[in-house]
Structure 1
Amino acid sequence: MYVLLADSDPVSRHVLTGALDSAELVRVVATADSGRHPRHWPLSGVDVVVIADAPPPTGHAPAVTELVHKGLRVLLLGAGWTTGAVAAALAAGCAGVLLKDAEVDRIAAAVRAVAAGYVVVSPELLGLWGPAPRRAAPPRPVRDDRSARLRLRSLTEREREVLTLLAEGLSTRETARRLKITPATVKSHVSHALAKLSVRNRLEAVLLMRQALDEDRPPWS
């Protein structure tokens, strides 16, 4: 998915852009000064907007609302979150709030999840997240049919291991190192899994696995 990264600090923009560009399935196609109005941001072809200098999100609320009205998903990164700040971000239509000092893999995974329709909140901020505001987009599972569980059971143990690591935010190369196999073998397992799961791409397979891992009892247990 294609990302625009907005930050008032040019050094921060540069560092985060380089880090996200190295992640799987994420490409930063443009950057912007978050201090400027969104009408000046290069939004053409963008799926997700990451605003990386929040909170206070109340200052970004008009921008978030405008971006959401354009059909874009918005993810806020920042420090010093409070209950009010999280609530304001979600009320403005934001699809996710994360700590800015989170590991890059976690930020990249959040971008992928937000692009797929999920609402994402850093684990450290869950205690600040009350009932979702009415205007906040609710989480949307990738699959909600019973056959998805049967398809997950059809995976081999190695295919499940590969998708599990990818769902945890590891890259292809990192997954290969963890399992002591080659990146080409990782890609081969993913390809076989796509056919068994009847999904269109790797992102859908990873999100389906993430959904299963979040269950109390995964389908294969």
Structure 2
Amino acid sequence: MTDPVRVLLVDDQELVRTGFSMILATESDIEVVGEARDGAEAVQRVAELAPDVVLMDVQMPGTDGISATEQIVAAGGAPKVLILTTFDDDAHLFAALQAGASGFLLKNCPPDDLVQAIRLAAEGHSLLAPEVTQRVIARSTSRAAPEADGRLDELTERERDVLVLLARGHSNAEIAGELYVSAATVKSHVSHILAKLEVRDRVQAVILAFENGLMD
């Protein structure tokens, strides 16, 4: 039996933390190991508890979720950080992604989506809520044509196809179905993409694709 995914809940509202705890308590493969009321406490609790995934609120008194995420990621060997917020404006979205968050979900997402996001993050995947992906695409297409990043030239045609589908919010299984290949093949392509682009995860690869006009 594999160990459960260890989760740290970070939110300044006790009611919100309690609600998330109740949702996750029903999952046998997920364990809430601690809570924090602000970003500074979150950084301390990560060092103490070594969680696998942190559910991070954005707007909190003192150290906010963006700053806390930056500190947690910079510490190295860090857990995956999922940003959970009621604020869905682009400023928070892009700041969270640039800080190193592995995903961005809205607090009004269905409980099943939250649970699945935690499992995916623990497995090393990165994810964005569908509505978030659409705004990233809209922002990228509204910019002036950027100068192409030479790292994109290192990708094969099939790797570019995979990256475009990643940027559209597709899972590995969906990409496999779209390209008529196995999920293992897609996983291999994703690994090659991350290595060639010199980025730490799928979200950073997607950001690079947007910023360099690959989705235009």
TM-score normalized with structure 2 length: 0.57
CA–CA distance in structure 2, aligned partners of residues 60 and 35 of structure 1:
5
Aligned partner (choices 10, 21, 26) of residue 14 of structure 2: 10
Residue 60 of structure 1: how far off its partner (Å): 2.0
- Deviation of 1:219 after TM superposition, in Å, equals 5.4
Match of 2:128 in 1: 121
1:218 and 1:2 map into 2 onto residues whose CA distance is: 35
Alpha-carbon distance between aligned partners in 2 of 1:219 and 1:40, rounded to the nearest angstrom: 44
Distance verdict in 2 for CA 1:76–1:17, change over 3 Å: same
Give the conservation status (yes or no) of the 8 Å contact 2:55–2:81. Answer: yes
Q: Which blocks of at least 5 consecutive residues in structure 1 are unaligned?
A: 132-209
- Runs of 4 or more, structure 1, over 6 Å off, are none
Residue number in structure 1 paired with 2:45: 41
**How does 1:101-112 map onto structure 2 within 5 Å?**
101-112=108-119
Match of 2:172 among 211, 214, 220: 211
Q: Percent identity?
A: 26
Matched with 1:197 is none
85 and 39 in structure 1: CA distance in 2 versus 1, 3 angstrom threshold: closer
Q: Distance in 2 between matches of 1:6 and 1:89?
A: 15
Deviation at 1:123, TM superposition (A): 1.0
Aligned partners of 2:50 and 2:79 also within 8 Å: no
| 1:29 counterpart residue number | 33
Note closer, same or farther for the CA distance 1:218–1:3 as it changes in structure 2 (3 Å cut). farther
Residue 41 of structure 1: SS of its match in structure 2?
helix
Measured in 2, the distance between the counterparts of 1:55 and 1:129 equals 21
Local SS of the residue matching 1:118: coil
> Who is 2:72 aligned against?
67
> C-alpha distance in 1, partners of 2:102/2:108?
18
Q: Given that residues 39 and 68 in structure 2 are in contact (C-alpha distance below 8 angstroms), is that contact kept between their aligned partners in structure 1? A: no
SS of corresponding position for 1:20: helix
The AA in structure 2 aligned to 1:213 is E
Which whole-Å deviations, capped at 9, do the CAs of 1:50-98 have from their partners, x for residues lacking one? 01x3359x93222101111331110011123122221110000011100
Cα deviation for residue 24 of structure 1 reads 4.8
CA shift, 1:217, in A, is: 5.3
Secondary structure in structure 2 of the residue aligned to 1:129: helix
Does the 8 Å CA contact 1:55/1:79 hold for their aligned counterparts? no
TM-score (norm. length: structure 1):
0.56
Superposed CA RMSD in Å reads 2.4
Structure 2 unaligned residues grouped into runs of 5+: 141-170, 183-216
Q: Which has the higher helix share?
A: 2
